[in-house]
Structure 1
Amino acid sequence: MSDTDHTPNEPFSATEDRQWASFAHFGGAIAILGFFSSWAAVLAVLPALIIYIVLGKRGHLTRTEAREALNFQITMVGAIIVWAIVSTIIGALFWWLGPVWIVLGPLFQIIGWALVIVDVIFSIIGGMRVNNGGSYRYPFSLRLVH
């Protein structure tokens, strides 16, 4: 057996711990960019969730950073769902007011894309910071998972 073979529940080395912790952050950006849609943000929760549940017990940094990334992705999914509901309701109410919706429609699209871009940027920053040996706390996030 080589030195790199591990049993499933063996603690991570410091390098592995940092690697999986950074993957938890990068996973959100990869999921969104892979599907290139505002609704792909719903999938952005999965990498951090899987890493938190499956690998979180093997490394303290992995657990801490996966929890941080998971809380941020849950926050962003909530924001995108609220955006979708509000833009649908306003769109349904004002579709008959052509000039109003000509202004509001693009505004709501910009807001939707801004949410996605913010998600991707902060996920990449988090992954890079952790990969370089630090830790990352998102500037805004609901702390739902403890």
Structure 2
Amino acid sequence: MDEFDTLTPPENAPLKPSQQARQWAMLCHLAAFAGLVVPFGNLLGPLIVWQLKKDIDPFVDAQGKEALNFQISVAIAVMVCFMLMLLVIGFPLLALVSIGALVLSIIGGLKANEGVAYRYPFTWRLVK
């Protein structure tokens, strides 16, 4: 079996998700910005949106999982950065992780709104 066989959509799958599905998928990615207001909001935002809307479309389900997995990975990276602050290297790493999370979350939201299934780099896929 070729590795690219898994990338082709099924014959009966729609070519592009509906506008509503794309908007909810975008919100799954952008809900991480709740972390700017609420502690652990970067985890709770995508989790709540995904849990409420995952049944409306497979695209929303997949993008919600992807956004949640990315935010879990970011949270783990931030914890590691805090531990590394004892060695001073944690400060620039925390800035790098924060800026990367901000940029990649925006890219994920924009791609989801276009109907493109976005996969975050450097992400542990814990939620399947």
Q: CA deviation at 1:116?
A: 0.8
1:128 pairs with 2:110: yes
Tell me which structure has the larger Cα radius of gyration: 1
Separation in 2 of the partners of 1:61 and 1:78?
26
Normalising by the residue count of structure 2, what TM-score does the alignment of the two structures yield?
0.78
Q: How many residues align?
A: 112
Unaligned runs of 5+ in 1: 1-12, 92-103
User: Residue 57 of structure 1: SS of its match in structure 2?
Assistant: coil
Q: Is residue 110 from structure 1 mapped to residue 108 from structure 2 by the alignment? A: no
Contact 2:31 2:49 in 1 (8 A): no
Displacement after TM superposition at 1:86 (Å): 2.7
1:31 aligns with 2:31: no
Could you tell me the percent identity over the aligned residues?
30
The 4+ residue runs of structure 1 with deviation greater than 6 A are none
CA distance in 1 between partners of 2:117 and 2:22 (Å)? 9
The Cα of 1:85 is off from its aligned counterpart by 2.1
Amino acid of the residue matched to residue 15 of structure 1?
A: Q
Q: CA deviation at 1:70?
A: 0.3
Higher helix share: 1
> 1:109 deviation in Å?
1.9
2:53 to 52, 55, 70: 55
Residue of structure 2 aligned with 1:71, choices 55, 69, 72: 69
Q: Which has the higher contact order (CA 8 A, sep 6+)?
A: 1
Query: Where does 1:69-108 land on structure 2 (aligned, <5 Å)?
Result: 69-87=67-85, 90=86, 104=88, 107-108=89-90
With normalisation by structure 1, the TM-score equals 0.69
Unaligned runs of 5+ in 2: 1-16
Q: Indicate whether 1:19 and 2:23 are aligned.
A: yes
Distance between the aligned counterparts of 1:24 and 1:66, measured in 2?
A: 5
